[in-house]
Structure 1
């Protein structure tokens, strides 16, 4: 083989490795769908339609949150937001948990805001509180939960959202005080941590940033970057969710988490993580199981654990933070969900 051929081969290999490292999520998603279309055409079409429809459903929330995050960066308002989180950590954790539990954003829609907060240098404790509380409850979920499971269940789920967020934030705060979790973001996501650039070198705020070409360009870059980042991870998550729904029927889940006592609460917590449907589809399933004798505590544990660790939410967390932070996120979801199920069960029998 000639020297030129070797050089071209080396360059081609480097380009392929670079493409895989940068676009492996897109490539993996496309490969899954292509494989399904070849070997299981009906499922392939169903998966593609499910992924696109699900993405379209969360797109309004995503665009709104991406716009807010990009505006904060372009106008330098991110510095004000970051400095607002430099007060008492305990107060910030409580506020973040309450806002997360009451915010109208879905678990996917808050991801750009959370990423922006972390990059700004907002403490992970407050961000974790918001992150844990947000997927569990929102206004529309409260109304639907009330209609399907009753007002008491909806209130309990809201209280659990705020309590779990506060609990997770306090745990992270104690770990940070001990010197852990000082650099939570994955390489290349940003330069956040305990002291982000927005706090170290605050820039003057220009609310009408569109009059400045440089700031206008920054807004466009931030918006495009966030959109592409979220699109690849969410489409991947929705493809996996489609396969889970197709190959893990609801009646199988019902057979596993049904029953009464403490054991079903533990099982529902563990099963809720990988087998969760979605916040709205799970409500009638749980309602039917409770009517058939399932412990209310097990139903709440299933909804909470599954909501926090649903595929779109969990994959988004995985994409943003390092593995130890992701593991902590899942652990907090499990412990908090099981505890919430136990307490709700004790309350229900009083």
Structure 2
């Protein structure tokens, strides 16, 4: 019975995976057929361009998102949070702990607000504050959602630059903030927990579950991620489609063009009051770039939107004083601006 169940699972994967790949390859002709032949819209009309953009990008991003979410599910299953916590608090890593925390932030599907409970757990579990900052910085910036959408919108080169720089930002930001010895600015609530809680050595026991038995759970969780961000994807792509079809070409370049030295800091400062996750903002960034905004300026705007938000600051108030929140936001803002200028040079 178990063998039969495994066989059905593997056969289903063998059928569905090639079907998704073929759909991805032939998606644009199919969308053109739907938009221009069945719906009768004109390719050169504002509505036709917007509808075509919406259908194509929505399906493309959902396919990539499901595949990459499932792949990252394998990483998450075999590299769980508790194992990371024990690893970072018991091993001599000679600075590599910043990389591990930042990398873990990159492979976990959290926005800035949903990553804060893990941040609190890390602080209360005895992980150094700088290492927890490395996780908090990278977690909303780089995840399978952002990577899937970037890969679909901008290609391999831009995706690699974005992912590597996001992880590097977490490492450097965590290291700098750690060296500033900011533990005294944690809230009294956190200090009380750290003082009164006895920390026993916790052992992580590996689960010797065969991979084929884990696979249905991994695929289900990958689909659950897609469902959780589906609304953000649709809203973000809808906004991007409207901008793509109706916003004049020179609207964004007028204020954020490469010949304006203040474009990058202006993009970052304007982004902070906003809040969106990667699924909602990446389609908008694609339109920015299509309208002539330099890639570095657009990326800086996106990083500030997903990584420096007012809701995040509100939640962080539970574990930090306003002074520490200000230091955290100010430091990351400077790093994002520097990255924006760097991106404009290399992309």
TM-score, normalization by structure 2? 0.57
In the alignment, is the contact (CA less than 8 A) between 1:121 and 1:197 conserved in 2?
Answer: no
Q: Distance in 2 between matches of 1:289 and 1:78?
A: 38
In the alignment, is the contact (CA less than 8 A) between 2:111 and 2:306 conserved in 1?
Answer: no
Which ranges of structure 2 fall in alignment gaps of 5 or more residues?
1-80, 206-241
Q: Distance in 2 between matches of 1:271 and 1:265?
A: 10
Q: Distance in 2 between matches of 1:275 and 1:256?
A: 21
Structure 1 residue 89: Cα displacement: 5.8
Structure 1 residue 264: Cα displacement: 1.1
Structure 1 residue 78: Cα displacement: 10
Q: Secondary structure, in 3 states, of the residue corresponding to 1:274?
A: coil
Are the structure 2 counterparts of residues 284 and 173 from structure 1 closer, same or farther at C-alpha, using a change threshold of 3 Å? same
Aligned residue runs from structure 1 range 24-173, under 5 A: 80=86, 83-84=89-90, 87-88=92-93, 90-173=95-178
Q: Does 1:322 align with 2:321?
A: yes
Alpha-carbon RMSD: 3.3
TM-score, normalization by structure 1? 0.56
Are the structure 2 counterparts of residues 151 and 310 from structure 1 closer, same or farther at C-alpha, using a change threshold of 3 Å? farther
Task: Look up the match of 1:188.
Answer: 189
Q: Distance in 2 between matches of 1:204 and 1:347?
A: 45
How many residue pairs match? The answer is 225
Task: Look up the match of 2:263.
Answer: 264
Structure 1 residue 300: Cα displacement: 0.9
Point out the more displaced range, 126-135 or 303-312. 303-312
Structure 1 residue 164: Cα displacement: 0.9
Structure 1 residue 97: Cα displacement: 1.3
Are the structure 2 counterparts of residues 265 and 79 from structure 1 closer, same or farther at C-alpha, using a change threshold of 3 Å? closer
Q: Distance in 2 between matches of 1:138 and 1:79?
A: 19
